[in-house]
Structure 1
Amino acid sequence: MPYLRNPVLPAGTLARTPQPTLDAGDGLLLRPWRAEDAPAVHAAFQDPVLHQWHVRSCDSVAEAADWIAEWQRCWERERDAQWAVVAPDTGRLLGRVALRQILLADGVAEIAYWTVARARGRGVAARATTALTRWAFEEIGFHRLELLHATGNQASCRVAGKTGFALEGTKRSALLHPDGWHDMHLHARVRGD
């Protein structure tokens, strides 16, 4: 059965070119993940804060290497797009920012991020989110970007507010964490906001 409209973004929109490096300015670079990032990803996931707000753990450098290999494949499949957030002068890992749950035909994706402990409180997540949002809207042509976080995660709520993602509501009991079901805030931006 044919659709009554053309896709917002056709298949191949992302995969037709290599994943870009994005200069966020102000001391941040968003670049594709590299195999040599595995020890830094493993170290980041030893942080109790990531355990509190994320549903995965990373038990070894080998597991982190597997994640990175999967993140690299996701670009080609146009399902997710993951970037390492690094200091441009040292290459030191500061965090991760991603487009997840990509639906090209609808022009929709979800923004996700985390930061390493030493980078928190420095605006890293907000600056990386701003750079990725700008790229997704202006360079690629997405129509809507969503941002979800546990309602108890006030730091993520502040990032959403600082980056112009309006709070649209609460998804009740929407994500199962090790400590039980979490309500999730749904924030979003639409192209042109």
Structure 2
Amino acid sequence: MTTPGRLPYPITLTGDGIILREWRDDDLDELVAMLDEPAIARWTPMPSPFGVDAGLAYLKRARLGRTGGSRIQLAVTTDGGKPLGEVLLFGVDAGLREAEIGYLVGAAHRRRGLAAGSLALLSGYARGTLRLSRLLLRIDPANTASTGVARRCGYQLTGEPPILQEGPYGPSSLDTWEQVAAGGSTRLERLRNVAARRYGGRRG
């Protein structure tokens, strides 16, 4: 990363018929329509129902996170226009050179390869430009569509203990998936790092 601890802003990522762009204030109506869906609330910590006030707060948080350089949060489009989904990178650990990625696609736009294409595009940027060596996904195993996307993009289960998450539709248990660059740490070393983070200290 060119500036330690700060992610580039603004950016646009393009590839395979997908354009990932920054969120705009005039995306509000499309954002609310996309996120006000029980299936999205089931698998993410989104409020449900998701109305205009939630949308305004969401866009405000996205803007603060982007201008502050703490995360990458981009609308998924095919032409730079109407948002069809979202992909984000957050939780960057500069020391371990790792970060977490999340993604979603609106109900009307699924089964078009948008989630896999967006995940692959942001993963490639994270590796090539940000120089991150390990990328993580947290997915409920019951969310088979999302686990299928993870596999198609070269992610695999780590074997780490599940992470419990509370949402509007009850608790869920998230498995950790990873995509590791060539020459990255071994699985045993990564599990040791997990234990170190949990019980104190850290091993690089």
TM-score with structure 2 length normalisation?
0.81
Partner Cα separation in structure 2 for residue 181 and residue 59 of structure 1 = 19
Partner Cα separation in structure 2 for residue 40 and residue 129 of structure 1 = 21
Which secondary structure does the structure 2 equivalent of 1:88 belong to?
A: coil
Quote the offset at 1:186 in angstroms. Answer: 0.9
State whether residues 102 and 137 of structure 2, in contact with CA within 8 Å, keep that contact through their aligned partners in structure 1.
yes
Aligned pairs for 1:144-183 within 5 A:
144-169=134-159, 171-172=161-162, 174-183=164-173
State whether residues 110 and 145 of structure 1, in contact with CA within 8 Å, keep that contact through their aligned partners in structure 2.
yes
Of 61, 85, 103, which aligns to 1:113? 103
Partner of 1:79: 70
**Aligned-partner residue type, residue 130 of structure 1:** A
**Aligned-partner residue type, residue 102 of structure 1:** V
TM-score with structure 1 length normalisation?
0.85
**Aligned-partner residue type, residue 163 of structure 1:** C
Residue 11 (str. 1) matches residue 4 (str. 2): yes
Quote the offset at 1:10 in angstroms. Answer: 5.1
Comparing 176-185 with 40-49, greater Cα deviation is found at 176-185
**Aligned-partner residue type, residue 78 of structure 1:** G
Percentage identity across aligned positions?
Answer: 26
Higher strand share: 1
Quote the offset at 1:170 in angstroms. Answer: 5.4
Structure 1 pair 133–39 and aligned structure 2 pair: CA distance change class (3 A): same
Structure 1 pair 128–143 and aligned structure 2 pair: CA distance change class (3 A): same
Partner of 1:3: none
Residue 122 (str. 1) matches residue 112 (str. 2): yes
Which secondary structure does the structure 2 equivalent of 1:140 belong to?
A: coil
Aligned pairs, number: 182
**Aligned-partner residue type, residue 100 of structure 2:** E
Partner of 1:59: 50
Which secondary structure does the structure 1 equivalent of 2:7 belong to?
A: coil
Quote the offset at 1:105 in angstroms. Answer: 3.3
Partner Cα separation in structure 1 for residue 180 and residue 147 of structure 2 = 18
Quote the offset at 1:185 in angstroms. Answer: 1.6
State whether residues 6 and 70 of structure 2, in contact with CA within 8 Å, keep that contact through their aligned partners in structure 1.
no
Quote the offset at 1:92 in angstroms. Answer: 1.8
Unaligned runs of 5+ in 2: 184-204
**Aligned-partner residue type, residue 97 of structure 2:** G
CA RMSD of aligned residues (A): 2.1
Comparing 109-118 with 41-50, greater Cα deviation is found at 41-50
Partner Cα separation in structure 1 for residue 54 and residue 37 of structure 2 = 16
